[in-house]
Structure 1
Amino acid sequence: MTPSRQTTANRDPAERHHAELEELIGRAIDEAGGWLSFDRFMDLALYAPGLGYYVAGAEKLGAEGDFVTAPEISPLFARCLASPCREVLGELGGGDVLELGAGSGALAAELLTTLAAEGPLPDRYLILEPSPDLAERQRQTIARRAPALVERCNWLARLPERFSGVVLANEVLDAMPVHRFRINEAGAVDEIGVTRSDTGFADTCATVSSELKSAVDRLQRQGFATQPGYSSEVNLRLGPWTQAIASPLETGLILVIDYGYPRPEYYRAERSQGTLMCHSRHRAHDDPYRDVGLQDITAHVDFTALAEAAGDAGLALAGYTTQSNFLIGCGIDTVIAEAAGDDPMKLADLSAGAKQLLLPSRMGERFQIMGLSRGLADHDELSGFQVRDLRDRLALSGTEAQRR
């Protein structure tokens, strides 16, 4: 059974945190009759007030945390993202940048510094951040690295009612809760949920919900997820999220950067156990019930589903490619040369970071970038999407493909 708060009073803070969150989730399972959807479990594990992984005050990003994102690896990432930002802000004659979940603040600080040097600066740099701990870290990072620009930053509790400019979602969707399913021996769909176990929590199957059943039926009509024993996940929150982001956007660009696949790759038969992964202290594993509250839980992004949701929300598909292609298209080689100058040590350091961002075995192919736009005159000419356009890999239907 889950340890009680009384039995954990003398443990270290991390162990107490873990036990308290386990207790909270255990109560949720009991209140739900002994079975909890994985979507709800993941939501509590990552975002339960005061206890979830992303809202509790532990170090998560960087060398001392659990994982490193592209902006922490190298300033080249933000300097390249400045190119499409400049193009959009220039076309609009102003506007804002809105970053969803700004991590350590490294991307905001470097992007603002680059735009200040090359122009144009956004009218405001808005940050939507659910974690008070991370919001404070972001303020400190920007104040330290871009002190003259920190006053341009505003932290939001909710999306703005109206917005024009650029929206950045770097490694946001992978942390969105998902539903899990499996195809049973009879070929029917079961939903994988969570129950209590002697060691904490465990998978258990139940009758699939109507919404998840509809989503899996659609996959099967397209030839995916059909063989007995196959299991994977579906992000049922993706459509509402896309609609929520698109609704206030009057004119501008949304850039989504994350690890994921187009649907034919995501649900290929060989990927028969889905994409769920956990990260703790720079180690990856596939057990979401280990160290609940102390580890990240992620699932890859179905970029075809994102493109479909964007079309339903009235957005145009401005581009889709790998991170490597995108950064090359943004002129990363020129950025390196200009930043390094005649300093061989600086050149070596920047080149090492570039390898992490570009190599297929690192982030270059695993991470994908999708551009979604509204009202831009030249959305097909944006920097980053000109080297190699991979929109055909999304296998969109004729109607969806026409929305490009």
Structure 2
Amino acid sequence: MEKTAPSLTSALQTEIRRAITASSASSSAADGWIPFDQFMAQALYHPGLGYYANERPKFGSQDADGSDFVTAPELSGLFGQALAAQVAQALQVTGTNEVWEFGAGSGALALQLLETLGDQVQRYCIVDLSGTLRARQQLRLARFADKVQWVTELPATLQAVVMGNEVLDAMPVQLLARVGGVWHERGVAWSGEAFVWQDRPTALRPPADIDGPHDYLTEIHPQAESFIRTLADRLTQGAAFFLDYGFPEAEYYHPQRSTGTVMCHYLHRSDPDPLALVGLKDITAHVNFSGIALAGQDAGLAVLGYTSQARFLMNCGLLSKMEHATHAERAQALKLITEHEMGELFKVIAFGAGPEWEPLGFTQGDRSHTL
């Protein structure tokens, strides 16, 4: 049975407080403290209690259904249909017949790809940490039960086309704060009846120098970059496509972006406070696509392209698909590509294992030179 919101938050607070207490026992510090990436991991993924591990709704189009946000595949079925054109080309060029999707959410994208690609996909593997989301995906994808499998880890070698839509932004980040000219790692402690921020001096630095003497808060992304390196180690033939919101390094660490990018989503409203309503709110950070590109390159993958979601989907034929859609369907699909909606903030990066080739989605407007 689903826990009520207050009891869920209280139970998760107790678990995180235990981790904070344990940290003081294992260090010379008198007060407990955990780095933000550890807090974020617990808040999102603690078994049964974390945001992606509990039974509350996540994906939907309005707060009336109890959901917190909508992703591109839920917004418009044309998203997956356009993306399928890229996946089809990747399967053909790389000589593979498997698709692996990380963080499949409600299963909407998997359904759109499977319906569109047909026999081009012999096996569709989903890697998802959430048991409740896996159950939802299984219901949605029941008629493709002969093709779809849920796995918990990558095989030693992989030959496939890999997909990840809004996956990298949900990977825990470390917070770095320059205060009075001194760099600190920002973490979480417990004071009174609430979690509070607490900074500790650190040797860690952002990957780019931040001009100016002003106080500055930002993130580094060791877990997302480690994930890309692991994927590179296993992917011996195929391609990988990641769609998410973020910037190249020069924009990410711009001196004026001084308050970081960590954001929470709850009932279709955004706020910057991850320490409140733990377990009930999604916590995300924008992606540093330069760091993701370097992690892949250094591990042996080729960067096949990088561009905005709008340009990528148009290159994949979204506009022609919209011509045959209803007025309501076109209005929803426009949100995928208009600049003030998802078109510009969301980016797409692609990696390849094997001989280099030009993916359909980057034939015009490739921005790899900005990474």
TM normalised by structure 1 equals 0.86
Match of 1:165 in 2: 160
2:118 maps to 1:83: no
From 260, 265, 269, the counterpart of 1:283:
269
One-letter code of the match for 2:125?
A: L
Q: Report matched runs for 1:200-211 at 5 Å.
A: 200-208=194-202, 210=203
Displacement, 1:362? 0.5
From 103, 106, 111, the counterpart of 1:109:
111
From 10, 13, 16, the counterpart of 1:19:
10
Match of 2:136 in 1: 137
CA distance in 2, matches of 1:309, 1:55: 28
What is the RMSD computed on CA atoms of the aligned residues? 1.5
**Is the CA contact 2:104–2:128 (under 8 Å) kept in the aligned structure 1?**
yes
Check 1:225–1:38 CA distance in 2 against 1; reply closer, same or farther (3 A cut).
farther
Displacement, 1:197? 2.4
2:265 maps to 1:274: no
CA distance in 2, matches of 1:194, 1:225: 27
Match of 1:366 in 2: 345
One-letter code of the match for 1:92?
A: T
CA distance in 1, matches of 2:215, 2:356: 48
Match of 1:306 in 2: 292
Displacement, 1:226? 5.1
2:42 maps to 1:39: no
Tell which deviates more after alignment, 191-200 or 324-333. 191-200
Q: Tell me, which stretches of 5 or more residues in structure 1 are unaligned?
A: 1-10, 341-345, 395-404
Q: Report matched runs for 1:137-286 at 5 Å.
A: 137-143=136-142, 147=143, 149-185=144-180, 187-208=181-202, 210=203, 213=204, 215-216=205-206, 218-220=207-209, 224=210, 227-286=213-272
CA distance in 1, matches of 2:83, 2:16: 39
**Is the CA contact 1:328–1:387 (under 8 Å) kept in the aligned structure 2?**
no
From 392, 395, 400, the counterpart of 2:369:
392
Match of 2:72 in 1: 70
CA distance in 2, matches of 1:56, 1:244: 27
CA distance in 2, matches of 1:231, 1:69: 27
Displacement, 1:219? 1.9
CA distance in 1, matches of 2:220, 2:308: 22
**Is the CA contact 2:182–2:201 (under 8 Å) kept in the aligned structure 1?**
no
Deviation digits for residues 167-196 of structure 1, max 9, x if unmatched? 0011001011111111121x2211111111
Match of 1:400 in 2: none
Displacement, 1:236? 1.6
Match of 2:329 in 1: 350
2:328 maps to 1:333: no
2:25 maps to 1:30: no
Number of residues of Structure 1 aligned to a counterpart in Structure 2: 359
Deviation digits for residues 283-327 of structure 1, max 9, x if unmatched? 000001110001000000000000110111100010000000000
Q: Tell me, which stretches of 5 or more residues in structure 2 are unaligned?
A: 25-31
Displacement, 1:123? 1.8
Deviation digits for residues 62-87 of structure 1, max 9, x if unmatched? 13311100000001111111112111
CA distance in 1, matches of 2:274, 2:367: 32
CA distance in 1, matches of 2:123, 2:3: 41
**Is the CA contact 1:183–1:225 (under 8 Å) kept in the aligned structure 2?**
no
One-letter code of the match for 2:81?
A: R
Match of 2:29 in 1: none
Displacement, 1:161? 2.3
CA distance in 1, matches of 2:111, 2:218: 37
**Is the CA contact 2:40–2:172 (under 8 Å) kept in the aligned structure 1?**
yes
Which contiguous aligned blocks of 4+ residues in structure 1 show a shift greater than 3 angstroms?
none
One-letter code of the match for 2:124?
A: Y
CA distance in 2, matches of 1:315, 1:288: 34
One-letter code of the match for 1:104?
A: S
Displacement, 1:12? 6.5
CA distance in 2, matches of 1:196, 1:225: 33
One-letter code of the match for 2:247?
A: Y
SS of residue matched to 1:97: strand
Deviation digits for residues 247-279 of structure 1, max 9, x if unmatched? 221111110100000011111111100000000
**Is the CA contact 1:100–1:129 (under 8 Å) kept in the aligned structure 2?**
yes
Displacement, 1:150? 2.8
Displacement, 1:58? 1.3
SS of residue matched to 2:362: coil
Deviation digits for residues 335-381 of structure 1, max 9, x if unmatched? 223xx3xxxxx420221122110111110001000001111442xx2
**Is the CA contact 1:183–1:226 (under 8 Å) kept in the aligned structure 2?**
no
2:308 maps to 1:322: yes
**Is the CA contact 1:252–1:376 (under 8 Å) kept in the aligned structure 2?**
no
Displacement, 1:165? 2.0
TM normalised by structure 2 equals 0.93
